[in-house]
Chains A and B, each alone.
Chain A
Amino acid sequence: MGSLFSSSISLRKSVRISDDEFLLLRDFIYEKSGIFVDVKRKYLFESRFSKHLGELGLSSFSDYIKYLKFDVKKAEELPRLFELVTTNETSFCRDLRQLDVFKVNVLDEILNEQRKAGKLELNIWSAGCSSGEEPYTLAILLHESLKRELPLWKIKITAVDLSRTMIEQAQKGVYGEYAFKTTSDDIRKKYFTKESEGWKVKPEVQKLVHFQQMNLNDSQSLKKVARSHIVFCRNVVIYFDEAMKKKVVGSFYDNLLPGGYLMLGHSETLHKISQAFKPLYHPGSIAYKKQG
């Protein structure tokens, strides 16, 4: 087999991380973000961080850990660290079946209850909103549900994410083709305008959503989120260990108004995490209703 590449080309490009360094870094990340990194991903870490270490002019992971803990710029480094440990792929209307379950079995019920109580108010919390596709999808869903009634309502969707870059991107509200892979053309034309960079979400959708950088491991800032009727937290807790899952779900419980709902991602469940919610099984999705 001939090759266009040198027969002695090496695979290692990165600084080596020792087992001790890995554990230190992992504990640091866990302490700051609640994200748990399995030891199996050690090499993935090496390669992901290696370029960044070079940019900082550091030659070992020990130096990087010192930098994170003691450097004058450590506060600036934290968001960068978070970027490196999170992934942010999503799209509009991801998991259509769940959204359908949500609309029919959760949203309509809550809207009706609010109407009955004469309080045309709705708070939704989108926790781990990435680049904004989920909260905007929810805002569009509300436009579609309430139609002309919408101006009478006071609606606030609080959308938070660990990554500052993602929040900035979400605030811009401009998306490429890939984000629309499961969205109908009608919806796209109705709620987005074509710009040179992509499709920009229209102001009437954007004004329902308030973005904010937030660390779900920071209980104090979670307490400042307005109490919600619904919490969406999809494909986030999958990165947490059991203790952190319990902690975050506990915060959602405290934040939810009586009878409020928690929606998780398709591959996530409260099984073994919390019994304070009643799971309502629908074809394709589970909605968790706050008890007590």
Chain B
Amino acid sequence: MGIKCFEELTAGMILASDLKASDGRLLFKAGTEIEARHIELLKRVGVAEVDVEAGACELSDGMLLEIEDYVRDFFLYVNPDSEPVVEMFRISLALTGDAVARGWCLPDIIQRRASNVEHMEDLFLKGMGSPETIVMHEAELASFPDIYFRIKEVLEDDSASATRIAKVVSTDMSLAAKLIKLVNSPLYGFPQTIDSISRAVALIGAKELSTLALGISAINYFKDIPPELVDMKKFWRHSITCGLLAKILATTQTGLSPERFFIAGLLHDVGRLIMFKKLPYASTEAMLFARENSIPLVEAERSTMDFCHTDISRPLLEAWKFPEGLSNMINFHHNPMEFPNPLEPAIIHLADNLTNAMEIAQGGMYVLPGVDEQAWEILGIQADPVLRDAVEQCQEQIDTILGAFF
């Protein structure tokens, strides 16, 4: 890892960043594998230092075994013969190996335990609150942002003009700013800069833009979650990554509009946020139970609370009158086959697993929930190379997209 002086350079090393000459001219792009003839050229140009990626040789065998054990722990719960799962395991190994080679330390056992939330109190005792009553309590207390309903209104009005939509969205400055950043991000990949909402509406369509605005205004609603309970930045990072992967994976299917999948992925765990708000202590118990027993969080929720976050998202999205198609993707992301038309939720299901696999290299906490075999068959994709390609695309785009949110 890191900077090598010219003398240390050998064929087979990979450039970690773009290599430029002293006059700023690009010599080789990041990712280029150095060959003997490159070394000759660099010598002629007079390059003194080169930033190269870590090679296997720089991590000891012991370290590689440690990484493998660490990654394996996240796959304890899932079918070790499942095609997508095995591919996810290999992706996690590659990412974690890379992270460690770049100086990331594997989290120790204490870092992998839940933090103390002894001072927090649940609003409902065990057995006293059903998902419906919990959501009702939430809906009565806090009203959803007004802008959300105004956007929804235009969204449902087929005759609404582009100018009217642009006008409604523009009334919320911070929302409009986020939207502009997002439509300029790789999520859409337009070659030219889009500098106004009305231009965005014209390019990506009224329905599309309104849906995006709807999702973003929903995020704004969850600002008061206790930070010691859950790192909200991490939570949204997980959600945005899942959204991006879902969008990328949706392109493998014909006849789907991929952008909707970004929003569904973005909000797939929204039920969990209500749990954090209403049942902070029980939520922590669920997190502890998940880690103690090496089971996915969704299973731990069912064991400790008798319901899980999708049981909460169902009445919640209904109360918000969220578009049904999106709601179904969110509500069935853990059990896509229970929905009559499983294709769309199956994509979120796969993206959620893949996000978890990616997060292992960032200090993820929970075992993978696993990919439903039937759901995987329906998607009809080849794990290799589709999943790896999706992860690579995601890595290239994620920072810009996160930048639009934070």
**What CA separation (Å) do A235 and B76 show in the bound complex?**
22
Cβ of A11: which chain B residues have Cβ within 8 Å of it?
72, 75, 80-81, 85-86, 89
Which parts of B9-61 form the interface with A (CB within 8 Å)? 14, 53-54, 56, 59
Contact B68 A5 (CB under 8 A): yes
- Interface residue? A7 (CB, 8 A): yes
Interface residues of B in 265-311 (CB under 8 A from A): 281-282, 285-286, 288-289, 292-295, 299, 303-305
Chain B residues in 8 Å Cβ range of A268: 126
Q: Mark B184-220, 1 if CB is under 8 A from A, else 0.
A: 0000000000000000000000000000000000000
Query: CB-defined interface of B115-154 with A at 8 Å, one 1/0 digit per residue?
Result: 0101001100111000000000000000000000000000
Closest B residue, CB atoms, query A93: B118
Is chain B's interface secondary structure helix, strand, loop, or mixed overall? helix
Which A residues, 1 to 51, have Cβ-Cβ distances below 8 Å to chain B? Answer: 1-5, 7, 9-14, 40-41, 43-44, 46-48
* Closest B residue to A272 using CB positions: B127
Q: Residues of B contacting A4 with CB < 8 Å?
A: 54, 56, 59, 64, 67, 93-94, 97-98, 101
Q: Does B90 contact A (CB under 8 A)?
A: yes
Bound-state CA distance A168–B91 (Å) is: 42
Given contacts A4-B64, A7-B90, contact A40 B126 (CB under 8 A): no
Contacting pair A97 B118 (CB below 8 A): yes
| A182 proximal to B (CB < 8 A) | yes
Cβ A2 vs Cβ B93 within 8 A: no
B97 touches A3 (CB 8 A): yes
Q: Which of A148-185 contact B (CB under 8 A)?
A: 178, 181-182
B205 to chain A, nearest CB (A): 33
A264-292 with Cβ < 8 A to chain B: 265-269, 271, 281, 283-286
Mark contacts of B67-110 with chain A using CB atoms, 8 A cut-off: 1 yes-contact digit, 0 otherwise: 11000100111111100011001110111011001000000001
Decide yes or no whether A96 CB sits under 8 A from chain B.
yes
Q: Residue B53 contacts which of A2, A13, A48, A271 (CB distance < 8 angstroms)? A: A2
- Decide yes or no whether B178 CB sits under 8 A from chain A: no
**A267 (CB) vs chain B CBs: closest residue:** B304
Given A11-B86, A44-B295, also A267-B126 (CB < 8 A): yes
Q: Is A87 an interface residue (CB 8 A)?
A: yes
**A111 at the binding interface (Cβ < 8 Å):** no
B204 to chain A, nearest CB (A): 30
Q: Are B77 and A44 in contact (CB under 8 A)?
A: yes
Q: A7-B90, A182-B118 are in contact. Are A13 and B80 (CB under 8 A)?
A: yes
Q: Among B76, B89, B303, B392, which residue has its beta carbon within 8 angstroms of that of A43? A: B76
Measured as residues with beta carbon below 8 angstroms from the partner, the interface class of chain A is: 35 or more
- Are B126 and A269 within 8 A (Cβ)? yes
Q: Check B233 for interface membership: any CB of A closer than 8 A.
A: no
- Is the Cβ of B295 less than 8 Å from the Cβ of A1? no
Q: Is the CB of B93 within 8 A of A5?
A: yes
CA distance A48 to B77 in the complex (A): 10
A120 within 8 A of B: no
Q: Is B164 an interface residue (CB 8 A)?
A: no
B234 at the interface (CB under 8 A from A): no
Query: With A3-B93, A5-B94, A47-B76 given, is the CB distance from A267 to B289 under 8 Å?
Result: yes
B56 contacts which chain A residues (CB < 8 A)? 4
In the complex formed, the residue of A with least CB distance to B296 is: A40
Q: Are B86 and A3 in contact (CB under 8 A)?
A: no
Q: Is the CB of B281 within 8 A of A266?
A: yes
Question: What residues on B are CB-neighbors of A283 within 8 Å?
Answer: 121
Contact B93 A9 (CB under 8 A): yes
Expressed in whole angstroms, the Cα–Cα distance for A97 and B281 within the complex equals: 10
* Cα A283 to Cα B122 with chains together (Å): 9
Distance in angstroms between the alpha carbons of A75 and B332 in the assembled complex: 46
In the bound complex, residues from chain B placing their C-beta under 8 Å from that of A265 are 285
What are the residues of chain A within 8 A of B53 when measuring CB–CB? Answer: 2
The answer on a CB contact under 8 Å between A238 and B77 is no
Q: Does A89 contact B (CB under 8 A)?
A: yes
A1 close to B77 (CB less than 8 A): no
- Chain B residue nearest to A285 in the complex (CB): B125
Q: Output the residue of A1, A9, A47, A281 with the most chain B CB within 10 A.
A: A1
- Is the CB of A63 closer than 8 A to any CB of chain B? no
Q: Beyond A1-B391, A3-B97, A268-B126: 7 further Cβ-contacts under 8 Å? A: A11-B81, A11-B85, A11-B89, A43-B78, A87-B292, A178-B110, A271-B127
Q: B: which residues have CB within 8 A of A?
A: 14, 53-54, 56, 59, 64, 67-68, 72, 75-81, 85-86, 89-91, 93-95, 97-98, 101, 110, 113, 116, 118, 121-122, 125-127, 281-282, 285-286, 288-289, 292-295, 299, 303-305, 388, 391-392
What are 15 A-B pairs at a CB distance below 8 A?
A1-B94, A1-B95, A1-B388, A1-B392, A3-B94, A4-B97, A5-B90, A11-B89, A13-B80, A97-B118, A97-B281, A178-B113, A267-B304, A271-B127, A284-B122
